[in-house]
Amino acid sequence: MTLLPTDTAGEVGEKRVTWAELFFDLVFVFAITQVSALLHADHSWSGMGRALVVLVPMYWAWVGTSINANLRDVDNPLDRTAIFAIALLSLFLALATPDAYESRGLLFGASYLAIRLILAGLFFHGRRWSVHPFAVSAFTAGPLVLVGGLVHGQARVALWAVAGLCDLSIPTLLRARVRSTRFHTAHLPERYGVLVLIALGESIVATGAPAASTPDLSAGMVGAVSAAFVLACGLGWVYFVFASNAMQHALEIAPVQSVIVRHVLSWAHLAFVGGIICMAAGMTEVVAHPGDALSADLAGLMFGGVALYLATFNYTRWQMFRLWSPTRTAGAVGAVVLAPIATQVPGLAALSLLAAVVAGVNLWEHRRFLAATAAGRGGPGER
């Protein structure tokens, strides 16, 4: 068992994702499914806030596990067993999600505290404990989530929200402590790419389930499933064809890699995943009732989720290259502008229109990239 030195981790050869990490990802698939179901059950503003509050600890458990695996040699019995333990505890988080604000709050809180303590113990195994994000989160956010599980009502929501803010802000507050950390530049972008695949896969499951459980599969349902699939493919195309290589390139050339890890990977991917979950909540309703117009809340979720997903690429591009994307900005604005139409036309038409918007973004990006390549400017920054 080896802790990769924090100033040389990026120089220890190419690190591959282990099968234990991929096994852990299977649990996160279920976790996203539960958050999506929670949001679909209550898609009001307060419902969205509650869904976000439970998503952040789940997400940060995944992030902590992935970063720990990047900085350490985890392909050994002890670390592998610890990853499985975190996976089991993450499964408990997912199981608690449907009633996290009712009877299962303590299960949620205790599971997250245990995850945080395991991650801190792994990171500091064989070295002296210090003021580091792994340690600080274990003794701030972890206990806050546990205490939140012991109280009820708005007090629980408030404590869990504060814990989430701690998790999100601690890497910035302690950025000087991790400034010299060197990461494996192939491993982390691959891990976060898998995360996007997990979220997109959950959206496909969420749309396929209503159709599969219907005895009489109508042509409208088949059309809605097709449109939902095209939309999911389009979002994947934006990420994996036009963005993922740029993220790895940015991590490779960054003088301070922790900045890219914090902004482009950890923070931005929470927005990517959140956007996909919102979109899936609306798509599920369209597949179930393709001939009905969406409610304002569900239309806002579906179109707003896609807008958030596309707009987040401006944040990542600015952090990486101090550039922004006119194509993805146009797509995000288009999704917002067209959202009111979804309340006036059949859901199938609204979903098809949204899929067309994303397809248009990809076509426009492709043409711009071909033009940049012809002009000798086809590097990752141009994407």
- The DSSP secondary structure of 341-353, one letter per residue, reads GGGTS-HHHHHHH
Query: Both 358 and 213 in a single domain?
Result: yes
Segments in the chain forming alpha helices (H) = 19-41, 45-71, 77-96, 105-123, 133-138, 141-150, 154-173, 175-178, 187-212, 219-242, 244-253, 257-260, 268-288, 296-321, 326-338, 347-374
Q: What is the pLDDT of residue 6?
A: 40
CB neighbours of 115 closer than 8 A, spacing ≥ 6? 61, 64, 86, 89, 90, 93, 142
Cα–Cα dist 290/349, whole Å: 8
Closest residue by Cα to residue 233 from 280, 200, 281, 274:
200
- Residue pair 351/225 in contact (Cβ under 8 Å)? The answer is no
What pLDDT band is residue 179 in, cutting at 50, 70 and 90? Answer: confident
What pLDDT band is residue 2 in, cutting at 50, 70 and 90? Answer: very low
Tokens of 29: 């698939």
Query: Both 249 and 108 in a single domain?
Result: no
- Tens-digit pLDDT profile for residues 235-271: 999 999 989 999 999 999 999 999 999 999 999 999 9
Cα–Cα dist 7/318, whole Å: 26
Closest residue by Cα to residue 90 from 50, 133, 57:
57
Cα–Cα dist 355/350, whole Å: 9
Q: What is the pLDDT of residue 220?
A: 92
Query: pTM for this structure?
Result: 0.90
Domain that holds residue 86: 8-178
- State the total domains in the chain: 2
Share of the chain above pLDDT 70, in %: 95
Query: Average pLDDT in the 278-300 region?
Result: 93
DSSP 343-382: GTS-HHHHHHHHHHHHHHHHHHHHHHHHHHHHTT--SGGG
Query: Both 260 and 161 in a single domain?
Result: no
**Residue 1 falls inside a structural domain:** no
**Residue 3 falls inside a structural domain:** no
Query: Both 308 and 265 in a single domain?
Result: yes
Q: What is the pLDDT of residue 44?
A: 87
Q: What is the pLDDT of residue 256?
A: 94
Report the amino acid identity of residue 247: M
Q: What is the pLDDT of residue 242?
A: 83
- Tens-digit pLDDT profile for residues 192-249: 999 999 999 989 988 888 888 888 889 999 999 999 999 999 999 999 998 999 999 9
Query: Both 71 and 203 in a single domain?
Result: no
- Tens-digit pLDDT profile for residues 79-132: 999 999 999 999 999 999 999 999 999 999 999 999 999 999 998 887 778 888
